[in-house]
Amino acid sequence: MSYSEIKQIVYEANMALPKLDLVIFTWGNVSQVDREKNIMAIKPSGVEYDDLKAEDIVVLDLETGKVIEGNLNPSSDTDTHLYLYQNFEEMGGIVHTHSTWAVSWAQACRDLPAYGTTHADTFYGNVPATRKLTDEEIHSEYEKNTGKVIVETFKNRGIDPMAVPGVLVSGHGPFTFGKNATDAVNNSKVLDECCKMATLTELANPKITRIEQGLLDKHYMRKHGPDAYYGQK
């Protein structure tokens, strides 16, 4: 994939965020990697979506984080993206937003329970909330430490980040993952909707418990399992 091709892909993925009501102003960012070329492309920092162009997307070395192509500063969350890609090789795209419903759950420092089949179609279990960063982590390599606390959450809890392609960073907001940038954007929208549904579900029934394991298995596996049959072939 050429630099111009990956920049176009990442540009289009970023432009989908305001269309899906996941961001306002300059909030949020999308990235994608090309592991053959060992590069990452990401939105530049602080650029309004109305002003963003494909040529503004910044291309960096996946290992060092050095800018390879681009005249603008990359997203302030770049080091978080880099750390996640470096630790989860199956990830191809990452999205970070400050969408209302997902941020509400992140600020509540709560896992998002799998209450129904809408959740189960994308997330194979509860979406985890991380622990809060310490003062030392906040004041030293904050963005990289955000990536570290995400990796810690998945590894310590034995969660596959591609089976549960999202996380709620406590006090901050959601990050979602996918096989590419477009996939990660779709998961970001699903996560926000599931957070909204869960909030309304708990209002309707404060004693609700999570979906039965068999129903969770059925809905996730029919879309993502080895014998998946959802959709067209």
- d(C-alpha 197, C-alpha 218), whole Å: 20
Task: Enumerate residues 6+ apart whose C-beta is below 8 A from 59.
Answer: 3, 6, 7, 39, 40, 41, 67, 68, 69, 70
Q: Are 45 and 10 in contact (CB under 8 A)?
A: no
- d(C-alpha 142, C-alpha 159), whole Å: 23
**Does the annotation count 121 as an active-site position?**
yes
Residue among 56, 61, 121, 217 flagged as catalytic: 121
Q: Cα–Cα distances in Å, from 36 out to 7, 112, 120?
A: 16, 35, 32
**Does the annotation count 160 as an active-site position?**
no
Cite the active site residues: 121, 230
